[in-house]
Each structure stands twice: as C-alpha cells, then as structure tokens.
Amino acid sequence: MRKALRPADAITLGMLAAVFFLTPHLYSNQSLLFTMMTFITLAQGFNLLYGFTGYLPFGYVGFFGAGAYGTSLLVLNAHLPAIAAVIGGGAAAVVAALILSPLLRLSGAYFAIANLAASQILYLIVANPALSSVTGGPYGLNIQKTFAPQSSYDAMLLVMLFTCAIAIFFCNSRFGLALRAMTQDYVSAQMAGINIVKLRLVVWLISAAVAGLAGGIYAWNISVFYPEAVFGLQISVFAIVFALFGGVGTVIGPILGAIALYTLYSVIGISLPQYFELIYGSLIVLLALFLPEGVLSLMTWRRIDVR
Amino acid sequence: MSAEPLLQLCSVSKSFNGLAAVNDVSFAMRRGEVVGLVGPNGSGKTTTINLISGITAVDSGRILLEGQSIERRRPFRRVQLGINRTFQVPKPFRDMTVAENIEVALEFSERDGADAECILTDLGLAAQRNKLARSLTVCQQKMLDLGRALATSPQLLLIDEIGAGLNPSELRDIADLLIRLSRRGTALVVVEHLLNFVNRITDHVIVLNAGVTLFEGTLQAASADSDVIAAFLGG
C-alpha cells in the first residue's frame, strides 16, 4: 500500500531545508534567497491545484495579495504579533477562495480567465484611492514596526517545506489517489464513490492558504509595499512558468523549476536586463514546443518515476 | 428480506431543451431481478440509467431505493447507497493501472463485500493488473468499467450497451457473468440493442419508445405486441 513518506521525499525535504538553512551563511544576499523561497512556495502551491486537479489559477497572485494585505491590516489595526498576523493572512486568502469557490464550476480556459479577473478585481479594490484610509489605496502599507528579516526568512522556509510536504501527501495518499481519479475522469470518479465537489474545494482552499501564508510572510519581510508588489500579474506568471518548467503533478518539478528559472532571472536581470524579456519569452516558447510536461518529463521518458 | 421493492421509479420525467427524453416512466424492481431496457435509438434508455445513477437530474417524479427517496442525492452518494453502472463508451481511469482502477472504487465507495482479486479473476483481467487502463482493448476496458462498478458491491447495477462491438464469444462470457451476478443478489438493468443478448440474461423487458413506456412483460410477448413492432420497424 501507499506510504506517507518515501525515502526520496524525505531526501527532497531534507535537502531543501538544508540548502535554504545553510546558504545564507555562505551567500550574503539573503533577500534573493528569500524571494526564491517565495517563488518555490508559490510554484508548489500553484502545482497543488493545477498539477493535481487540472484547474489553472491564472489569478493565483490574488491569494498572495490577500495574504499580504490580511497580514498587514491585522498588524496595523489589531496589533497582532507578526506570526499571528501571517496566519490571519492565510485565513484571509482562504476566505477569498471561499467567496470565489463558485468559479470551480467553470473549467479549462474559462476558469483561468475568470480567476485572473477575480484577482484583478481584488487588486483594484485594494488599490482604490477611495479606500486609502483602510487599505492604503495606491500608496500601499507600511508595517516596518514588525520588520524582522531573519524571523520572516525562517517563517518562509517553514511554509515552503510545509507546502512541499502537502505535495508529497497529494502524491502518496488515499486523498491523492482520489485526486488522480478525479482528474482522469470526473464522472467515473463519482461512480467510484468520490465526492468530487468537496475534494476540489479542499484542494482549492489549501492552495489558496499556501499563497496567503506566503503573501503574509512576504509583506512581513519587505514591510513596506505598494499594491502592485503583491498583486502584480508577474507573480502569477512566474509561479506558473516555474511550475510548468519543472513539471506539474510532481513534488520536485516546481522546486527545480523555481530554483533554475529564478536564478536565471536574477542573472539576466543583473547582467543583461535589456534582453530579459527576449530570453525569457524564448525559453517559454521552447518549453511549450518541446517539453510541454516540464523538464522532469525527460526523466519519465527514461522510465524514472518522478511522481 | 423485505417485500419492499429495491428500486422504484415513480412518474420520472426529463426533458432536454423542451424535448421529452423520458416521459412519465414508472417501474419497480426486486432484489436480484434482471430487467432488459430495450427500445429504438433515442427512446430514453440511457437517459433512464443516467437518471437512476444521478448523472442527470430528474425534472419531476421520484426515484426510491429501498423506499428512500434518492432523486436529489448526488451521484457519489447513490454509489455509496449501492447503485452503480457501466458506460456505453467505457470510462476507466486511463492513466492508472487495472488494479488501481479497482482500488479507487474499493476505497471510496464505503461499501464492504467486494474483493479486488475476485473481481479481477471474474472479469479475466488478473493478468493485466499492472497494465495501464489505456493500453487495454475495448472489451477489456468494458470489463474494467464493470469491475469498477463491482468494487462498490452494488445492489443495483445499470449496464449500458455493454454488448456493442463485442464478438459472440465475448458476448457469451459477459452474459454468463451477468447471470452469475444476479444469482448473487445484484439487481440488473440491462440496456441493450442486441435482443439475443438480453434474451440470454432475462425474460423481463421494458420497451421504451420516445421516452414513454410502451410495454412491460416478457420478451416473447413484447415481440408479439403490435405497438412494439411498430416502434421497432416503424409502423
């Protein structure tokens, strides 16, 4: 039968923890590492939904923003300590996901577009100058009083590992078996006794919660931000491309994708910023043409099980 | 065993865009009973099965399982109550192995009594257990569809055109298998075009035409009924 944690999964989690725990001692740019962890978390969180249910949340960033704002507003108005506020930010994203859950009735491109629109609505509401007294409007928020780069780094590390652990659970558990069945044939899944409405709602909420926690910790880490910084569509696009590059429906695909492409992004962004979009765009085209299932599919072709 | 019927349809109707696919259909079944549901194309046979299994919602009328009204229950609940089905075009989980296909249904139906090994052996799929469902022949996929249904140990099994496209020896095997199931107490609704096949399994048929029950009785009497002849041959 299924094992909760295979040795390969334990190694993945262990290495991920070791790398991001040790690297700050060798490499001084902790903020770059922090952002990389943010994107690993987002790519993995995106993968939880897209890789395991087939719903493509183009507006995934909406939950990230909801988390960032939820956290910051709790710090500013309820004067909660940062950790509690971050958890509140995750809850804010879950509430947003609950409100948006009727979107799950759509499928394919319709879902992706509706979700994109929803995230932009959230963005426009938050950034609305008329709400400046509540959300800071276009001027963003400032929670410098909680500024704690090391604690927020550690928190992001935990959330990243937690998210990857959920992906492992999705791969190996009875729950994951139901997800696979649902993705392959949702009518037959019901005929196997699976409550697909509940199942996809649970995954949707988990995926949103992860993005919300990441958004909250991100806000905590940078402590001063404009709406664009946490609702920018580029964040969604990065999470999606990173996950697809590595390979969705796997545990290590999104991790490798985010590490490889975020590193590339940073290198190009520093050395050849004028060519960034050209290089990135070409990469995405090549990926879609030749490796639509991500770089991990190179291993699947050699019959190595990467799930 | 109670005298109450296992399944009752009371004036069940369903229209699509104003066209009545099933119109005021009523019938009842006992445990272990086998009913052939026959009729020309578009007569509402598959829609009837979809209504019983919950894939399609009824417009009006009631469906009772052991006296309990189930017409508003979601499909997976009906599975857990003991209703299952096969599909005209088999719908296995294509990227899972044969054994996993059965395992999913065993895990989630929350019904006891089924055994994966017995099912695989009964269906002649034991040797294919580790193959992906997509690599099976159509006949094997139909068997797997049936296997998924059996893994939920149904009280009522709805069989939708399982005979289409199969050769005579495969048909004979399936007919034997269905007879064995009914002897074990599973009630069967068999939708079929091939009347010989129906004849092999049961004597009791319901003839539908344009969504209306035209005839209920023995197959022999049906073939002598003038309305039935008119419906099939176009009178």
Site of tokens 């923003």:
A65
Q: Do B104 and A185 touch (CB under 8 A)?
A: no
DSSP letters spanning B101-138? HHHHHHHHS---S--HHHHHHHTT-GGGTTSBGGGS-H
**Can you give the residue range of the structural domain that contains A73?**
7-232
Contacts of A197 in chain B (CB under 8 A): 74
Interval A94-139: pLDDT, tens: 999 999 999 999 988 999 999 999 999 999 999 999 999 999 999 9
CA dist A181 and B55 (Å) reads 17
DSSP letters spanning A87-154? HHHHHHHHHHHHHHGGGGGS-HHHHHHHHHHHHHHHHHHHT-GGGHHHH-GGG-EE-GGG--HHHHHH
Considering only the beta carbons, identify the residue of B74, B95, B108 that sits closest to A192.
Answer: B108
Does a structural domain hold residue B107? yes
Contacts of B75 in chain A (CB under 8 A): 187, 190-191
Does a structural domain hold residue B175? no
Interval A163-179: pLDDT, tens: 999 999 999 999 999 99
Does a structural domain hold residue A51? yes
pLDDT-derived band at B223 (thresholds 50, 70, 90) equals: confident
How does the average pLDDT of chain A come out, rounded?
93
Q: Do A187 and B91 touch (CB under 8 A)?
A: yes
Does a structural domain hold residue A140? yes
Identify which has the larger pLDDT, A275 or A185.
Answer: A185
Considering only the beta carbons, identify the residue of B84, B104, B109 that sits closest to A177.
Answer: B104
Q: How many domains does chain A have?
A: 1
Residues of A at the B interface, defined by Cβ within 8 angstroms: 174, 177-178, 180-181, 184-185, 187-197
Q: What is the pLDDT of residue A1?
A: 44
Q: Look at chain B and count its residues.
A: 235
Average pLDDT over residues B23-46: 94
Does a structural domain hold residue A115? yes
Does a structural domain hold residue A243? no
List the structure tokens of B52. 């019983």
Interval B144-188: pLDDT, tens: 999 999 999 999 999 999 988 889 999 999 999 999 999 999 999
Q: How many CA atoms lie within 13 A of B90 on its CB side?
A: 25
**Can you give the residue range of the structural domain that contains B96?**
92-153
Contacts of B111 in chain A (CB under 8 A): 193
Q: What is the pLDDT of residue A279?
A: 83
Q: How many domains does chain B have?
A: 1
Considering only the beta carbons, identify the residue of A174, A184, A190 that sits closest to B76.
Answer: A190
Does a structural domain hold residue B115? yes
CA dist B155 and B143 (Å) reads 18
Interface test with B, best of A52, A173, A174, A191 (most B CBs within 10 A): A191
pLDDT-derived band at A302 (thresholds 50, 70, 90) equals: low
pLDDT at A307 over 80: no
Closest residue in A to B75 (Cα) is: A190
Does a structural domain hold residue A98? yes
Q: What is the pLDDT of residue A270?
A: 81
For chain A, give the percent of residues with pLDDT over 70. Answer: 96
pLDDT-derived band at A281 (thresholds 50, 70, 90) equals: confident
State how far residue B140 is from chain A, nearest Cα, in angstroms: 16
Contacts of B91 in chain A (CB under 8 A): 185, 187-188, 191
CA dist B28 and B10 (Å) reads 8
Average pLDDT over residues A156-160: 98
Average pLDDT over residues B201-207: 93
Closest residue in A to B100 (Cα) is: A177
pLDDT at A61 over 50: yes
Considering only the beta carbons, identify the residue of B96, B100, B149 that sits closest to A191.
Answer: B149
Identify which has the larger pLDDT, A290 or A40.
Answer: A40
Q: What is the pLDDT of residue A297?
A: 81
CA dist A267 and A283 (Å) reads 15
pLDDT-derived band at B189 (thresholds 50, 70, 90) equals: very high
Q: What is the pLDDT of residue A301?
A: 67
Kindly give the interhelix angle for A149-172 and A82-100, rounded to the nearest 10 degrees: 40
Across the A:B interface, residue pairs with CB atoms under 8 Å apart total 76
Does a structural domain hold residue B110? yes
Does a structural domain hold residue B228? no
CA dist A120 and A124 (Å) reads 6
